[in-house]
Structure 1
Amino acid sequence: MNPRAWWRKTWGRWGPRRRLRVVTGDSLPGRLPKRDLVLARDDDEDWCVGMLCPCGCNSPIELLVIQEATPRWDVSVDPEGFPSLRPSVWVQTGCRSHFWLQGGRVRWCA
């Protein structure tokens, strides 16, 4: 395993957990926070979740959570306030990262 991959996996497992921030509107802000997820909510309807790619490339990732979308993701928050996403996130272009977000932690797929 190369040093960058080792560091990414270790930081994802033991670094600070991600939190969920909610913004008003049907789109994400132009600038996403370094670690946290952003949920765009308009009139009590969740639209999308955004985050910067956890691999370190800092590419923005936007995931639709509205019922009508295909594909779509489900976002949930545990009692401690840490988010989870279902299904996994697989970036199809660029870095091609593939991971789960569970309890605010990134779990990399092999």
Structure 2
Amino acid sequence: MTPRWLRRAFDRYGPRRGLEIVEGDSLPARLPRRDLVLAREGDEDWCVGMRCPCGCGRTIELLLVREAKPRWDLLTDPSGRPTLKPSVWLRTGCRSHFWLRRGRVEWCD
């Protein structure tokens, strides 16, 4: 397993995460290693998914629909790099807490 300090350095200085869009209201069974996947049906965004950036292998699914609680907002910059609001905080398992801004993971310590 990669040391935590090395993974965090890669998150800060390595390539930014991208965004892939799939048609439908659910995520595919397999997610890319680094990029986020947006499930979109028609013109409605349902959820966004990613692998946990800590390396534990957990799939993170965040709801984007207005009726959901909790819910997140997904924004993209002109280069297509994703930003999530608010932060992602896993309360069980690895307990990762981070922001995703312009395709970069910013860890909360």
Within 5 Å, give how 1:67-82 maps onto structure 2: 67-82=66-81
Structure 2 CA distance, aligned partners of 1:33 and 1:92? 23
- Cα deviation, residue 5, structure 1: 2.1
| Counterpart in the other structure of 1:23 | 22
How much identity, in percent, do the aligned residues show? 65
Between the two proteins, the alignment pairs up a number of residues equal to 108
Distance apart, 1:76 and its partner CA:
0.4
Aligned-residue CA RMSD (Å): 1.0
Report SS of the residue matched to 1:88: strand
Mapped to 2, the partners of 1:21 and 1:39 lie a distance apart of 6
1 CA distance for matches of 2:57 and 2:78? 28
**Which letter does structure 2 place at the counterpart of 1:45?**
E
Normalising by structure 2, we get a TM-score of 0.96
One-letter code of the match for 2:78?
P
Paired residues for 1:51-66 under 5 Å? 51-66=50-65
Instruction: Please name the residue that 1:86 is paired with.
Output: 85
- For 1:57-103, what per-residue CA distance to the aligned partner results, in whole angstroms no more than 9, with x for missing partners? 11100000001000000000001110000000001111000000000
- Tell me the SS of whatever aligns to 1:13: helix
Name stretches of at least 5 consecutive residues in structure 2 with no aligned partner.
Answer: none
Counterpart in the other structure of 1:96: 95
Which letter maps to 1:101? L
Q: CA deviation at 1:38?
A: 0.3
TM-score by length of 1: 0.95
- The alignment partner of 2:8 has SS state of helix
